Amino acid sequence: MNRKEALNSIKANVENENLLKHMLATEAIMRALAKHFGEDEEEWGFTGLLHDIDMELTGGDMATHSKLGADLARELGASETMAHAILCHNKAHGIPLETKLDKALFCVDPLTGLIIAAALVRPDKKLAGLEAESVIKKFKEKSFAARVNRQQISQCSEIGLELDEFTELGLVAMKRIAADLGL
């Protein structure tokens, strides 16, 4: 797959800057996870990058979200494995998470939101000084960024990671692209 082509397609379908940043953050963490596990970094990265490409096209309708996205990803050259991960990251379809890639995308998705929210409450609103420990504190504070699905993040256990390790890995990956995230 060609990243430039994928990004162009995303930019043609996604207007919301925050959604774009969410997809870039997901890509960064998925790549870092692939590296950690010795999996295919390109495959995992592109899956993260593309996973919400249809969010605006489907108007956030959970009955169609990620079905269209999986099709769009296939058109961009995604494998069936990648398309499956995109498809089942939306639980509304009731498709079980099967592969490690499916499970990774599923728990990474809400982690980006928690980390961004934790950065935004800092005085400098930057990722640089944020520590994994603070993110975990925010994780335990249920009223903080209440829409972030903690249970889904906790499913990092299904890919063999403890919450602290998962958070640290995600935070480091997002710090690397802080400029792109405007954080």
Closest distance between Fe ion and the C-beta of residue 60, in Å?
Answer: 11
Residue ranges that bind Fe ion, judged by CB under 5 A:
52, 109
Q: Find all residues with CB under 8 Å of 20, minimum gap 6, and list them.
A: 10, 11, 14
Whichever of 49 and 118 has its CB closer to Fe ion, that residue is: 49
* Displacement of CA 123 from its chain's centroid (Å): 25
Closest distance between Fe ion and the C-beta of residue 129, in Å?
Answer: 26
Closest distance between Fe ion and the C-beta of residue 17, in Å?
Answer: 15
Whichever of 13 and 128 has its CB closer to Fe ion, that residue is: 13
Whichever of 94 and 128 has its CB closer to Fe ion, that residue is: 94
Whichever of 51 and 138 has its CB closer to Fe ion, that residue is: 51
Closest distance between Fe ion and the C-beta of residue 22, in Å?
Answer: 6
Note whether 88 and 115 are within 8 A (CB). Answer: no
Please state, in angstroms and rounded to a whole number, the distance separating the CA atoms of residues 38 and 60.
Answer: 33
Amino acid of residue 180? D
Query: Which whole-number Å values give the CA distances from 59 to 13, 45, 79, 139, in the listed order?
Result: 11, 24, 25, 28
